[in-house]
Every structure is written in structure tokens, then in C-alpha cells.
Chain A
């Protein structure tokens, strides 16, 4: 059996009369970069919030399989340090500079308020170490120059890079990105996509080396090229599916209608989106086209 990191089991959610998600199932192996796409209003963010644990769903459960944890996994009941997030907006704490923003995770996780007050010497030593590690991490995302700048002094692209460093330094089991590059201009977006591909390459290396845990990424995006370029796998969540064929009298909610591997991108290869054309058109047809209502299992590939 594959080494799973995350399993979404039969998640359904309705807000009163409004049905949002219906029986969403997804298993994510460790080290995979999953792109989650879907038309607006399909419940991407509801699913996203459920995985983070801030808004639990009515039905179903989400299980997380940590390294060295229980084989049954742990049920997600709230936000925790095992799942990092990068939002489109509000990505950084405005009152901390770039370096502090990256270091704060280590601080919050590794120290406690009483500890900081009553053992100041240990605290100062730790603080210095956290800041050094944050500096290293910022170097990894090529931001050494901007360490002392506050978020409002950073450009949108730099902010997202700091946010990624902030999530990565915690070495979470999985990092969730919600339209991370949505507000960026094309050139910056390209640059950051390249950075994710670089991470994916590091992942391949980590996978082949024993003892290193590869990074798992779930990236929510509305840009199909981005989904195919960055992800190893594209998952489409859509309200346009043939629910009548399953015997529902009413629309039960959006579900996963598309799940296929994406061509593996390599950082240095050109961003030739022509090679995605076939698959892109397929996704557009299956996930985004309201008139076309596929059966649920039609476009699901087993992992």
C-alpha cells in the first residue's frame, strides 16, 4: 500500500438548503503535489477549510497519517502545526518583519509564554537560534536581502515567498496553498511556480534518500495551466456531474469528478503550455462545462 499522508473520507457539507459538498473522497500519498481545481462556487474553500480544521464538515472525516504516528491516522478536529497554510491574502503577520514572520512558528511551537518570562536566558538563546534558522530558510527562497522588511514594504511575490518559508520551516506533514499566486502579475507568478517546481525536484531527491520526509503540497487554483504545471496530480471538484444517475432527486453537492496524474514538470523546462493542451481541454470539459455532466467515476484514475 502507498504511504498515505491524508485521507478524505465521504465528506459532505450543506449550509441549510444550500448543498455544497457531496461524498468527497480523496487519498493523498506522501510527497505528492496535488492541484485542486474547480469552477467558482464548487466548494473548494469549504473543502480547504475542512482540511485545515477551522470549519469541520457535517459528514465524513479527514484523517492525517503522520510519520511514526498511528497506522489508523488521526482525525482532523482543528487547525494544527502538522498542516501549514499559505493564503492568497493575509499571508503574513503585518507586525513582524520577514525574518520574524518565518521564525514565529518555531517560537510559538517550541516555547511557552511562562517559559519566556521565567527562563529568559534559555529563551534568548532559543530566540537567536530561531532567527538563524529563519534566515537560512529565507535564503532558500532567495530573500536574504529583505529579511528586515515588514510585509507592507514587500512586493506581493516576496510576501508569498516569505509565507511559503513560514510554512516550510515548521516541516508540516502537508502544506495547503489557497490561490497562492492569484493576486500576482504574470512574471512573479512564473517565478514562484518555478520555485514550487524546484521544491518538487528536492522532493524526488528526498524520496530516494532514506530518512528524509518529502513535502506534500495541496494547491488550490483556478488556473488550469498552473495546476498542470506545478502539480503531479490534478483533482477537479465540480457541481456539474450526473447526480441523477445515482438516484438523487435533488442536487446533493459538488464532488470530485476528475482525478488524473499531471505531466511531471521540471524547473528548467520551458513553460510550454501547449503540451498540456489536450489535458487542459479535457479538464475544462469535464470540470468546468455546466452542460456536460460526467458520471462520478468516469474520469477518476486510481493512484
Chain B
């Protein structure tokens, strides 16, 4: 039983079953809730959910806003810029630390401390330093993912066998070539893994910040609609977040497979 593989067919059917259980269970719960209280919005029925989705897509009659479009644009931009700057800074700091012991001594203490502060707790700091514009969301995500990324790059560089580095020198490499042609190549799969792992935290930071200071975006909308108990809007938003996280992860996984075919089997 334990750890014994099951047929692929059975495995597929079980996955299908789990999704089915979710759908059927939800349908049953929403119907029951409807019978108890017809005006209830906490567990909306499928038709209520469809209405919520329409409400988010069709322009608002009064303001002309299209919630979902505006929110995707705002949150997506913040997320992409924040993660991108965090990754770039993480690569830079991690590479410096891995290659230069002086940089390691310099960056290690602040990074170790920074990693312990939840960015959501330090919200006010970002608010004070970066204002309430996009800069705040971006810097919060960037600072939030930086320590973990920098550390994984640093550890990957550190783990590179020095023999291979010496060998690169005997093959005529310059210092820059050791960094670019050897160390960067070695770090790449670990970097992609680290980025995959930091998508979740980055989303947490963004949503939290938007809940507190945003006037548009996923966090803002979810908080507002939750307060109004408009769960038929909240649930589709959550589903969208789940889908986004899932597909970003799959894309990175696929990129890793393409870029680093040598590193199959050692991924997270």
C-alpha cells in the first residue's frame, strides 16, 4: 500500500473525482443555504455567481468602470514590476555575495534581518518611504521577495565546485566569463525554482497592500466586496488568483525544462 504506485488511469480518475466532489459539494451547500435564507449571499448559487461575473465585466452603469479589467491592469502591472525588480535585485545581490567574499560580509547581516520582517507588517514603512502610488506596491513586493531570491542565488553560487571554476580558468576564461558563462548557467535552474516559490509570497504582499491603501486592484476589490458580503464577486476573483498562480508556475516550470534540460529531476 504505502508508496506503491497506482495505475495512471486510476490516478487520473481520482484527480477528476476530487474536482467533482468540490463542484457537487459546493452546489449542495449553496442550495441548502438558499432554502434556509433566500436572500443570502455568503454561498451564492451558480446563477448568482454568473451574475457576479457579469457585474465585474460589464461597465458599471453609474461610473462606467469595468472592475475586472481595471483590477487586472492595476494588480498585474504592480505584480509584474514588483516581481521583476525583486528578481533583478536578488540576482545582483546574490551573485555579488556568491562571488565576492567582501560583498558576502557586507550584505549577509542586513539580508538575514530583512528576511525576518514580514513586509505586510512593515506596510507603514513603505507607505512613508514610497507614498501610496504604484511605487509603494512595487517596492513592497521587491523587498519582500529579495531576501529569499538573493539567498538562493548566493547558495547556488557557493555550492558550485571550485574545481570547475579552476577548470574554467585553465580553459582560458576571464573572471567575467566565469561569472557569465559558468556561474550564471549553473544558477539558472535554481533561480527559476526560487522565482516559482516567490510567486505566492509576492501575491500575499500585493493583496495585503492593496487591501489597506489601494483604490483599484484585486486586494481592494476583494476587501470591498467581502465587506458587502458580495461573495458572488469575491469567489470568481479568488478563482482568478488561483488560476493565475497556477499558470505562472506551469510556465516557469516549462521554461526551466527548456532552458535547463540538464537539471531535470532536481527541481522543487
Contact = CB atoms under 8 A, between A and B. Distances in A.
Interface string A147-182: 000111000000000000011001010000000000
B171 A170 contact: yes
24 contacts: A52-B170, A79-B166, A79-B170, A81-B170, A81-B172, A84-B170, A84-B171, A85-B167, A87-B167, A89-B163, A90-B163, A90-B167, A93-B168, A93-B182, A95-B185, A95-B186, A96-B262, A107-B181, A109-B173, A110-B172, A113-B176, A113-B177, A170-B171, A170-B172
Contacts of B161: 89-90
A54 interface: yes
A277 B167 CA distance: 36
Contact of A52 (B166, B172, B262): B166
B247 to A, nearest CB: 27
* List of 9 A-B pairs having minimum Cβ-Cβ separation, nearest first: A109-B172, A105-B171, A79-B169, A81-B172, A90-B163, A108-B173, A150-B262, A90-B161, A95-B185
Interface in A35-94: 52, 54, 78-81, 83-85, 87, 89-90, 93-94
Interface residues of B, number: 25
A113 to B, nearest CB: 6
Contacts of B185: 93, 95-96
B164 interface: yes
A85 B166 contact: yes
Contacts of A104: 171, 181
Given A109-B172, A166-B171, 8 more contacts: A78-B169, A81-B171, A95-B188, A95-B260, A104-B181, A108-B172, A113-B181, A170-B171
Contacts of A84: 170-171
Nearest to A169: B171
A148 to B, nearest CB: 10
B263 A95 contact: yes
A95 B182 CA distance: 9
B38 interface: no
Q: Is the interface of B mostly helix, strand, loop or mixed?
A: helix
Nearest to A97: B262
A269 interface: no
A54 B168 CA distance: 12
B174 interface: yes
Contacts of B188: 95
Contacts of B166: 52, 54, 79, 85
A208 interface: no
Interface string B229-243: 000000000000000
Interface string B140-171: 00000000000000000000011110111111
B46 interface: no
